[in-house]
Structure 1
Amino acid sequence: MLRGFYTAASGMIAQQRRTELLTNNMSNANTTGYKADQTSVRSFSEMLISNMGGKTIPTENKLGIPEISKVGGLSTGVYVQEANPSFTQGTLEETGLNTDLALADESLPANDDGRRGSVLFTVQDGDGGLRYTRNGSFTLDGQGYLTTPSGLYVLSDKNERIKLESDRFTVTGDGAILEGNVQTARLGIGYSNDPSSQLMKDGEGLYKAVNDEGLPSAYAAAGGGFSAKQGFLEGSNVDQSRTMTEMMSAYRSFESSQKVLQAYDKSLDKAVNEVGRI
């Protein structure tokens, strides 16, 4: 009975975590460049239940070991194994601002399993480390450096800070930044062929490479399968209607596990307070 109690409780915990993650996706549905998290719910290993009867192995064995008959498997509950962001392209929305940039995934190379990689802007965090983002809502600081809304420096393809004379600059599809007819720099764009395993979230729409290893330059690694869009921002890839449906499903699953747990609790109450009297 107690095994069933723990199994129902694990189901409630798993669905609670799913609900929290889906709620976070909904709250970021209008966040520029946000990538929706996806959960993977797995079951714990099953236990093989056996029945130890009164019969014994034939006397010629002279062991006297009770005969064991298999009953079947017993589930021991579920858990949320991981939460990985989906790097599918969000909708590009035109803003008309020169400092707003977006990356369009056009024909990125496909992996062996058919999934495609992702390209991201390269920025520098406060400690000088490399971080990556799809949020291209940039601005110029007081010294003319191109920065993120939180003040992180946007880097060039040489991992150098990009300094501009004014916001009257042009960004070409291949990432070149022109002031007049002169190329000042080229956007630093990293490429990950498997972002789910190579990147991890670092807060504020930023990602960092696993083991702090930098991503290769997208200009060579991605084979020209993307383009930079000036005057555009990428919206989140959250499907709000689907997310709401999944939230309702998670809530109903939580309720079902809760009712099972309550049934076990009543059975335990009777076993202790009623059966014990007899």
Structure 2
Amino acid sequence: MFRGFYTSASAMVANQRNQETLSNNIANANTPGYKQDQGVKRAFPEMLIHEMGSKSIPTKRGLNIPIDRQIGSMSTGMYLQETVPSFTQGDVRETGNTTDMALVQGEVPDEEGFTFFNVQNEEGEARFTRNGNFTVDGEGFLTTNNGYYVLNEDGDPIQTGGMEFNILQDGTMQIGDDEELLGVTYTSNSSEFIKQGDDLFEAGEDAVVADARAADGVNFEVQQGMLERSNVDAQQTMTEMMSNYRSFELNQRVMRAYDQNMQTAVSEIGRLQ
């Protein structure tokens, strides 16, 4: 009985954490370049149940035959193993702002390959983003909307000197008489990129990254005055939230049934004593 109680409790915890993931997706449905998270649920190892005992056969000498019969397997619960970002291209919308940029991915040689803008976090470490809602700070550097420097192909902050510049589709920035190449990174396995908040990603230990322009078969465009929208499907996410909530309620009812059965059992045992 207690085993079933814990099985239902573990499912409720997994559903609650998955609900938090779905709620975060909905909250970022209008965040440019946001990649929705998908919860991965797994079951705990199943337990194999055996019937072990003996059967007495009425003979003169009293024969006992041992019994070891397999009954079947029993689930021991589930848990939310991890949340994985879904790297799919979001819709592109026009904003008219010269500092807004949409990174539109074309054909790539790898199924899970994806491209990112190169940026620098507050510790000076290289990070990656899909949010092209950029701006220019008081010193004339191109930054993200959270104040992180946007980097060029050499990994240096880009000095624009103002809001007037032109961007070609290959990521070449024409700033007056000078030109800068916007830093764009390609990874063959986007699942190795880890979310860090503020729309930033960090390359994991096993991630393979390369300059998108030098990678074979990688095609992309940088569109000025445009923004990539979130890839969250609000209707589908709301449907998943309702389904997840119903699963939570179902396991809650199972726990109540176990609780009532235990109360009944304790009452009956008390009467017998």
Q: Tell me whether the two structures share a fold, i.e. TM-score over 0.5.
A: yes
Query: TM-score, normalized by length of structure 2?
Result: 0.92
What's the secondary structure of 1:39's corresponding residue? strand
- Tell me how far apart the structure 2 counterparts of residues 117 and 153 of structure 1 sit (CA, whole Å): 24
Shift of 1:53: 1.8
Question: Structure 2, unaligned stretches of length 5 or more?
Answer: 57-63
Per the alignment, residue 247 of structure 1 pairs with 241
- Within a 5 Å distance, the mapping from 1:1-278 to structure 2 comes to 1-55=1-55, 66-110=66-110, 115-180=111-176, 182-196=177-191, 198-211=192-205, 215-221=209-215, 223-278=217-272
Output the amino acid matched with 1:123: V
Output the amino acid matched with 2:98: N
- Tell me how far apart the structure 2 counterparts of residues 212 and 124 of structure 1 sit (CA, whole Å): 20
After superposition, the Cα gap between the structure-2 partners of 1:214 and 1:54, relative to the gap in structure 1 and judged at 3 Å, is: closer
After superposition, the Cα gap between the structure-2 partners of 1:131 and 1:257, relative to the gap in structure 1 and judged at 3 Å, is: same
**Runs of 4+ residues over 6 Å off in structure 1:** none
- Tell me how far apart the structure 2 counterparts of residues 231 and 219 of structure 1 sit (CA, whole Å): 22
Question: Structure 1, unaligned stretches of length 5 or more?
Answer: 57-63
Query: Deviation per CA, 1:78-120, whole angstroms, max 9, x where unpaired?
Result: 111110010101111101111101100121223xxxx331111
Output the amino acid matched with 2:259: D
**Contact kept in structure 2, 1:34 and 1:236, CA below 8 Å:** yes
**Contact kept in structure 2, 1:98 and 1:168, CA below 8 Å:** yes
After superposition, the Cα gap between the structure-2 partners of 1:256 and 1:222, relative to the gap in structure 1 and judged at 3 Å, is: farther
What's the secondary structure of 1:223's corresponding residue? coil
What's the secondary structure of 2:160's corresponding residue? coil
Query: TM-score, normalized by length of structure 1?
Result: 0.91
**Contact kept in structure 1, 2:193 and 2:207, CA below 8 Å:** no
Question: CA-atom RMSD, angstroms?
Answer: 1.8
Per the alignment, residue 60 of structure 2 pairs with none
- Tell me how far apart the structure 2 counterparts of residues 222 and 119 of structure 1 sit (CA, whole Å): 13
- Tell me how far apart the structure 1 counterparts of residues 218 and 148 of structure 2 sit (CA, whole Å): 26
Output the amino acid matched with 1:132: F
Query: Deviation per CA, 1:185-232, whole angstroms, max 9, x where unpaired?
Result: 101111111111x21011111101113978311111263411111100
- Tell me how far apart the structure 1 counterparts of residues 225 and 185 of structure 2 sit (CA, whole Å): 21
**Contact kept in structure 1, 2:112 and 2:190, CA below 8 Å:** no
Q: How many residues align?
A: 265
